[in-house]
């Protein structure tokens, strides 16, 4: 039918060859009584599947779909089942077509037409899966550009030749050779495995975060262990799928070891320090810490390399894990909920200082955030300054006096009001200037 020229590229000749085969196949189908019978079976199978789906799928949806306010694992399982109901029509058509194919082959001895229709129904099921069911952006992208082209080739009967061609084509890296098919299979499997690893890691972290009976450090260590285990298993499974012998990675492992020994010392040190922190529980997520350099904040995240502190003004500070091991770190959250602070102030030298402690302690004790245990407010004389008598009132509170909980300013307000109500003056700086000799005359 097509005239081939030697000047044509091989790809064009291949395409024209497939086109000629398709035309001959279409002619044989149109002129064959067996083919018309198979077309009729396809139509009957589709109509029967449509009738069954319309009649029973809404009932199944009503039975399986949970109430709007229902919660729990059973509810999630029922919602998971309900989302696959759009596949009912094409899959029912596929099953009924398969039954019709067996009958047709037993009568006519052939079933090419009905087999093609069955593959088309499976293609429609894949399309419904990608379009209506998959919600994750990554999986939808994978379904659109990997699953759908593969299903189109499968429906046209070209999937096996394409796989054979990709398997026969090899690429090499040094002494290691791969078929293109193994690379494609590895890329798809790797994408799916690491997506599943990320999803399962999120699920495990969510589950462990709800276990309030565990210490925060224990929970964080369990999360890190689960993450390493999941991605390690995904990596080993990927190597097995790609057909890579793990013994070939020994040289790469040795190179990585040398790299850690020379260029990655700090990364390895921070990683090991992070494990020590999680094991010992010296600092974990939620703790308010102050570093040796003066930085202070709440630990909001701990990674394999560093901890992230959030200051009271919303800034994030990335602190390498090694600093928590090798330098002095004050952990305000680890020693208990109650913390003691002090508010300094001064009074005039004209004041009867014997009255000051009782006045201040009574005023500070009225504040609702000041604790009576382990000790109530304590006003102490600290010294005699240049301009006044220096005092300080010590008080205990639940929590930390940071940017979110300014306890000390409220205490100083109470001190000011108490001194003013009792007629006690807070001094301002005084200086005595002595002039020697006579004053100059104008």
- CA dist 123 → 93, 129, 158 (Å): 11, 10, 14
Judge if 407 and 314 occupy the same domain. no
**255 token code pair:** 């190179």
The verdict on 389 and 400 lying in the same domain is yes
302: domain CATH number is 2.30.30.60
Tell me if 52 is assigned to some domain.
Answer: yes
Residue 386 belongs to a domain with what CATH number?
3.30.70.100
Are 239 and 353 part of one and the same domain?
no
Same domain for 143 and 80: yes
How far apart are the C-alpha atoms of 401 and 419, rounded to whole Å?
23
Residues constituting the chain: 442
Residue 435 lies in a domain: no
Q: Are residues 298 and 318 in the same domain?
A: yes
How many structural domains is the chain composed of?
4
Does 320 lie in the same domain as 203? Answer: no
Identify whether residues 365 and 404 lie together within a single domain.
yes
Kindly state whether residue 279 falls inside one of the protein's structural domains: yes
- Inside any domain, residue 115: yes
Instruction: Identify the pLDDT of residue 433.
Output: 77
Q: Kindly state whether residue 298 falls inside one of the protein's structural domains.
A: yes
187 and 74 within one domain: no
Note the helical H segments in 31-171.
33-64, 73-82, 88-108, 112-128, 137-142, 148-155, 159-168
**Are both 38 and 99 inside the same structural domain?**
yes
| Residue 2, domain member (yes or no) | no
Give the pTM. Answer: 0.48
On whether the CB atoms of residues 217 and 284 are closer than 8 A, the answer is yes
- pLDDT value for 213: 65
Q: List the chain pLDDT tens, one digit each, 442 residues.
A: 545 455 566 655 566 566 666 666 555 555 556 666 777 777 888 888 888 888 888 888 788 777 777 776 677 777 778 788 888 888 888 888 888 777 777 766 666 777 788 888 888 888 888 888 888 787 888 888 888 888 888 888 788 888 888 778 777 666 666 777 777 777 777 777 777 777 777 777 677 667 666 666 566 667 767 777 777 777 777 777 666 666 655 555 565 566 555 556 677 777 777 777 766 667 777 778 888 777 788 888 777 778 888 887 778 888 888 888 788 888 776 555 678 888 999 999 888 899 999 999 999 999 888 888 888 899 999 999 888 899 999 999 887 776 666 788 999 999 999 999 998 988 887 777 777 777 666 5
Same domain (yes/no): 358, 397: yes
Q: Which domain holds residue 80?
A: 32-157
Q: Within this chain, do residues 201 and 213 fall inside the same structural domain, yes or no?
A: yes
37, 104 Cβ separation under 8 angstroms = yes
pLDDT of 216: 62
Distance, C-alpha 29 to centroid of its chain: 53
Are 149 and 88 part of one and the same domain? yes
pLDDT (0 to 100) of residue 390: 93
Query: In b/e form, how buried is each residue of 279-292, taking b as 16+ CB within 10 angstroms?
Result: eebbbbbebbbbbe
Of 311, 331, 351, the last residue of a domain is: 331
Instruction: Choose the final residue of a domain: 217, 246, 262.
Output: 262
Element at 183 (helix H, strand E): helix 180-209
Provide the pLDDT for residue 364. Answer: 92
Is residue 429 assigned to a domain? Answer: no
Whether residue 46 lies inside any domain: the answer is: yes
| Backbone φ and ψ of 198, nearest 5° | -65, -40
Domain boundary residue among 316, 331, 346? Answer: 331
């Amino acid at each position: 039918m097509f005239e081939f020229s030697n000047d044509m590229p091989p790809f064009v000749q291949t395409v024209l060859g497939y086109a000629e085969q398709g035309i001959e196949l279409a002619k044989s189908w149109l002129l064959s009584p067996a083919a018309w019978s198979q077309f009729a079976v396809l139509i009957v199978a589709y109509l029967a599947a449509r009738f069954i789906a319309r009649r029973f799928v809404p009932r199944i949806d009503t039975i399986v779909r949970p109430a709007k306010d229902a919660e729990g694992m059973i509810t999630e399982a029922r919602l998971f089942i309900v989302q696959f109901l759009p596949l009912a029509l094409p899959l029912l058509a596929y099953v009924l077509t398969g039954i019709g194919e067996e009958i047709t082959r037993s009568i006519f001895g052939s079933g090419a037409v009905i087999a093609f229709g069955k593959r088309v129904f499976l293609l429609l099921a894949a399309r419904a899966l990608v379009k209506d069911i998959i919600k994750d952006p990554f999986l939808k992208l994978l379904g659109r550009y990997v699953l759908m082209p593969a299903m189109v080739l499968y429906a046209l009967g070209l999937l096996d030749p394409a796989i054979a061609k990709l398997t026969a084509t090899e690429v090499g890296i040094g002494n290691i050779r791969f078929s293109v098919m193994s690379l494609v299979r590895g890329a798809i499997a790797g994408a799916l495995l690491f997506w599943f690893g990320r999803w399962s890691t999120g699920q495990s972290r969510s589950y462990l975060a709800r276990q309030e009976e565990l210490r925060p450090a224990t929970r964080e260590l369990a999360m890190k262990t689960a993450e390493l285990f999941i991605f390690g298993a995904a990596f080993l499974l990927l190597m097995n799928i790609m057909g890579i012998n793990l013994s070939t990675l020994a040289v790469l492992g040795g190179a990585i070891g040398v790299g850690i020994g020379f260029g990655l010392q700090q990364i390895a040190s921070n990683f090991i320090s992070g494990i020590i922190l999680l094991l010992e529980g010296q600092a974990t997520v939620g703790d308010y810490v102050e570093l040796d350099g003066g930085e202070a904040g709440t630990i909001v995240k701990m990674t394999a390399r560093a901890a992230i502190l959030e200051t009271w003004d919303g800034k994030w500070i990335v602190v390498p894990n090694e600093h928590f091991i090798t330098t002095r770190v004050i952990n305000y959250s680890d020693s208990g909920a109650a913390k003691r602070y002090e508010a300094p102030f001064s009074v005039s030298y004209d004041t009867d200082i014997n009255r000051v402690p009782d006045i201040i302690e009574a005023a500070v004790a009225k504040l609702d955030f000041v604790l009576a245990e382990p000790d109530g407010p304590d006003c102490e004389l600290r010294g005699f300054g240049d301009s006044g008598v220096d005092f300080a009132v010590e008080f205990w509170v639940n929590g930390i006096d940071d940017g979110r909980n300014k306890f000390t300013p409220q205490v100083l307000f109470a001190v000011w009001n108490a001194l003013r109500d009792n007629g006690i003056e807070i001094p301002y700086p005084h200086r005595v200037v002595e002039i020697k000799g006579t004053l100059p005359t104008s």
